[in-house]
A = this chain, B = another copy of it.
Amino acid sequence: MEIEQAYPYLMERAIRQMRMVSQQTFLQAGVDITVEQWVVLYIIHDGQGLSQVEITEFAFKDAPTVTRIIDNLVKKGWVYRQMSSEDRRKFEIYTTNEGKMMVKKLLPMVMAIREQGIVNISESDLRVFKRVLGRLIENFEK
């Protein structure tokens, strides 16, 4: 089928498979976390005190999605909201100690998966790959 050669199809498929591998890895490590929760947890961990809007921008997700993911991270005890003192519409989001431990535990796995993906791909091909991705993003920006 012709669609299987189209680049959007290949991208969807690669992403989906990577997501499945990640999810399986988290499961086998006995950690109950989704890939999306991981992404947001990592951003919060890296940013400490970001507002939800800022997290929204980094994660490239929309506000309602980020609200709910943070709700779930709070339920799991990995993250907490603190009312901003300057702007009462805002929260500052931080990781708890458990959240930090979770990042420390999962980050090596995530890095390993990322490496697994690019096995047998040359440095120069990877550079081209990233450049094309950047161009695609630009081309769809307007």
Determine, out of A17-25, A26-34, A68-76, A93-101, the stretch whose residues face the partner at the interface: A17-25
Q: Which of B21, B58, B133 is within 8 Å of A1, CB to CB?
A: B58
Range for the number of chain A residues in contact with chain B: 35 or more
Q: Which of B13, B39, B132 is within 8 Å of A129, CB to CB?
A: B132
Of residues 89 to 142 in A, which have CB atoms within 8 Å of B's CB atoms?
114, 116-121, 125-126, 128-137, 139-141
Is the beta-carbon distance between A18 and B140 smaller than 8 angstroms? yes
Q: Which of B11, B21, B42, B134 is within 8 Å of A140, CB to CB?
A: B21
Q: Is A49 positioned at the interface, with any CB of B under 8 Å from its CB?
A: no
User: What chain B residues lie within 8 Å of A132 (beta carbons)?
Assistant: 121, 125-126, 128-129
Which label, helix, strand, loop or mixed, suits the secondary structure of the A interface?
Answer: helix
What are 21 of the A-B contact pairs (CB < 8 Å)? A1-B43, A3-B43, A7-B114, A7-B118, A7-B130, A8-B18, A8-B117, A9-B60, A10-B130, A10-B133, A11-B15, A13-B60, A14-B133, A17-B137, A17-B141, A20-B140, A116-B140, A121-B136, A125-B131, A129-B129, A129-B132
Known pairs A12-B60, A14-B136, A17-B141 / 7 extra A-B pairs, C-beta < 8 Å: A8-B18, A10-B130, A11-B133, A17-B136, A118-B136, A119-B139, A121-B135
